[in-house]
């Protein structure tokens, strides 16, 4: 295949990977992203091996090296910014849990999450008509309300920590490979 066809394949494969990763994340299935990334990497490798118009001089190595370094730089910068924003939400936001009793003995239990700018990102309440005789529906409603409240707060932290870890891994790998190739070609 020609280089232009190869680049078109890359765009299509990356678009399909984004869609499939979105599906995996929204369904909560941790197996789908692993399979999607592995299949996409394999498909990119196969497409790369089928390119027929290959440059035979050092220009291809220089172009690939510059493209890889630029991709690394952009990835690290974007991931570091998202890491800072996501973890900032966790540490600067606030949460509230409250309860209000009524004269007839019923109770309204409330949970919310507020972002840094004071914007309400989660706001739910659960009305318990007879707290002395809690039913299973009441317990499940309370559990769901507090679980969702925690998820709203914890997801940005987990996402931010994951991106921060990727930044550290990429920079560490770049440093290690730079050191390795410097030693290899200087000796």
3-16 pLDDT per residue, tens: 888 889 889 988 88
Residue 100 resides in a domain? yes
Confidence of residue 57 (pLDDT cuts 50, 70, 90): low
Reading phi first (left if > 0) and then psi (alpha if -120 to 50, else beta), residue 185 is in alpha
**Structure pTM?**
0.56
11 falls within a domain: no
19 in Cβ contact with 39 (< 8 Å): no
In a domain, 109, yes or no: yes
Burial (Cβ within 10 Å: 0-12, 13-18, ≥19) of residue 156: buried
Q: What is the pLDDT of residue 56?
A: 57
Cβ atoms of 114 and 174 closer than 8 Å: no
pLDDT tens track for 30-48: 788 788 888 888 998 898 8
174-187 per-position pLDDT tens digit: 888 888 888 888 76
Q: Does any domain span residue 162?
A: no
Q: What are the two backbone dihedrals, phi and then psi, of residue 108, each rounded to the nearest 5 degrees? A: -110, 120
In a domain, residue 118? The reply is yes
pLDDT at 106: 92
Residue 40: inside a domain, yes or no? no
pLDDT above 60 for 134: yes
Q: Buried (b) or exposed (e) across 48-80, using 16+ Cβ within 10 A?
A: eeeeeeeeeeeeeeeeeeeeeeeeeeeebeebb
Whole-number Å distance between alpha carbons of 187 and 183: 6
Q: Which pLDDT does position 169 carry in this prediction?
A: 87
The answer to whether residue 1 sits within a structural domain is no
Structural domain total, the chain: 1
**pLDDT confidence of 55, banded at 50, 70, 90?**
low
Q: Do the domain assignments include residue 84?
A: no
Q: Which domain holds residue 101?
A: 92-155
Q: What is the mean pLDDT of the chain?
A: 83
Check residue 161 and give its pLDDT. 84
**What is the Cα gyration radius of the chain?**
25
Q: Is the pLDDT of residue 107 over 90?
A: yes
């Amino acid at each position: 295949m020609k280089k232009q066809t190869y680049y078109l394949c890359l765009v299509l494969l990356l678009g399909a990977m984004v869609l499939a990763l979105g599906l995996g994340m929204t369904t909560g299935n941790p197996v789908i992203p692993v399979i999607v990334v592995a299949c996409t990497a394999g498909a990119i490798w196969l497409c790369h091996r089928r390119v027929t118009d290959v440059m035979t001089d050092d220009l291809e190595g220089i172009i690939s090296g510059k493209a890889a370094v630029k991709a690394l730089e952009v990835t690290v910068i974007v991931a570091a910014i998202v890491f800072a924003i996501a973890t900032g939400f966790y540490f600067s936001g606030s949460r509230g849990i409250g309860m209000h009793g009524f004269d007839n003995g019923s109770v309204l239990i409330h949970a919310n999450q507020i972002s840094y700018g004071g914007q309400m990102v989660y706001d739910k309440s659960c009305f318990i008509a007879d707290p002395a005789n809690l039913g299973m529906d009441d317990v499940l409603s309370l559990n769901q309300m507090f679980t969702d409240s925690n998820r709203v707060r914890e997801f940005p932290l987990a996402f931010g920590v994951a991106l921060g870890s990727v930044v550290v891994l990429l920079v560490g790998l770049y440093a290690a490979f730079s050191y390795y190739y410097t030693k290899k070609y200087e000796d």
